[in-house]
Amino acid sequence: MIAFSLGGIHVYRYGIMYFVSFLIGYVLLSYGQRQGWYRGTAADDVIGKDLDGFILSLLIGVMIGGRLGHVFIYDRSYFVAHPLKILAFQEGGMSFIGGIIGVVVSVMIYFFYLSPVKDSKNKNVLAMFDAMIPIVPLGIFFGRFGNFLNQELYGRVVSEAFRGSGLGQLMEQLHLLYIYDKIGPELRFNTNVLSMIFEGGMIALILRVLFFKKVLTKKRSAGQLSMVFLGLYSGVRFMLEYVRQDSQAEFVGRFTKSQWFFVIFFVVAVVGFVSVRSREVKK
């Protein structure tokens, strides 16, 4: 949905949310480096010397990964028939799953081949992921707000039985049940706000507490925070898939396409966390 136009150039609401997210990330990473939050890690070197390059690598990873994830996971047949539509970002279609994979790939390419620490002994890429991970839920928060403004990724229609229940009445009072005027008159689960609360706010709070606990105690086991985020986010998204309308047409067996990916991500998170912890114990 277009927010405004300048000289024939359209500025989209979702694009504004992307800009706000990356701007906040830039400011917080810069502030954290000056405060010594990353001292003694590779993140301190990179953020202090080339924050612009690091943010650019994140942007490229999110945009390319998110778009290709949507193309290959959710709508491959359409884009095979209309390949030029892959470049039509203004028409929407970004995948968080693809975005995660894109960011991992782009950050690793940047870190090992382009960053100012490529020849440094202090070269643990997991420290880079740990530095940026506490900011990711804030980006998710603003992204879901953009979805809400566009009235997309909306929830399933609420049954009368659920609406009349105590939980349903409470959710309606909190506007967690909502009528999307652009979609129709039915009352639906407000998956955008639910995602803002749980994918964004709740996970952001947990990660900030864990991050500052690491800073204050000087325990910097690189990778732990990233694995905690991956596990938490996978669990939250897995549950929210059940109330999203767009997910109901893409079941593969017992789970949706997205849920299968989040099962894999959760397993990776558990294995990764145990691996990092075991290395810490050996030290």
3-state SS, 230-263, equals HHHHHHHHHHHHHHECHHHHCEECCEEHHHHHHH
Q: Which of 112-126, 152-166, 190-204, 240-254 has the lowest mean pLDDT?
A: 112-126
Segment 126-149 shows an average pLDDT of 91
Residue 137 lies in a domain: yes
Higher local confidence (pLDDT), 271 or 121 = 271
Is the pLDDT reported for residue 4 higher than 70?
yes
pLDDT confidence of residue 75: 82
Give, as one character, the DSSP assignment of residue 158.
P
Is the pLDDT reported for residue 220 higher than 70?
no
Residue 246 lies in a domain: yes
CA torsion sign for 249, 93, 3, 142 is positive
Residue 81 lies in a domain: yes
Is the pLDDT reported for residue 116 higher than 70?
yes
pLDDT confidence of residue 60: 94
Give the number of domains in the chain.
1
Is the pLDDT reported for residue 119 higher than 60?
no
Is the pLDDT reported for residue 283 higher than 70?
no
Report residue 118's pLDDT band, with 50, 70 and 90 as the boundaries: low
pLDDT confidence of residue 22: 93
Proportion of the chain above pLDDT 90, given as a percent? 56
Is the pLDDT reported for residue 113 higher than 90?
no
Mean of pLDDT over the chain: 88
pLDDT confidence of residue 163: 96
Residue 225 lies in a domain: yes
178 — phi, psi (to 5°)? -155, 145
Residue with tokens 């990179």: 46
pLDDT confidence of residue 165: 96
pLDDT confidence of residue 115: 84
pLDDT confidence of residue 51: 93
Domain that holds residue 209: 2-155+190-282
pLDDT confidence of residue 216: 65
| Rounded-to-integer distance, Cα 49 and Cα 133, Å | 19
CB 89 within 8 A of CB 11: no
In Å, how far from its chain's centre is CA 102?
Answer: 11
Tell me the range of 100-104, 116-120, 210-214 where mean pLDDT is highest.
100-104
Is the pLDDT reported for residue 203 higher than 60?
yes
Q: Which amino acid is at 147?
A: N
pLDDT confidence of residue 9: 73
Residue 160 lies in a domain: no
What region, left, alpha or beta, does residue 200 occupy, with left being phi > 0 and alpha being psi -120 to 50 degrees? alpha
Residue 197 lies in a domain: yes
Residue 162 lies in a domain: no
Report residue 186's pLDDT band, with 50, 70 and 90 as the boundaries: very high
Residue 262 lies in a domain: yes
Is the pLDDT reported for residue 274 higher than 80?
yes
- pLDDT, tens digit (0-9, with 9 covering 90-100), for 34-67: 998 888 888 888 898 899 999 999 999 999 999 9
Is the pLDDT reported for residue 236 higher than 90?
yes
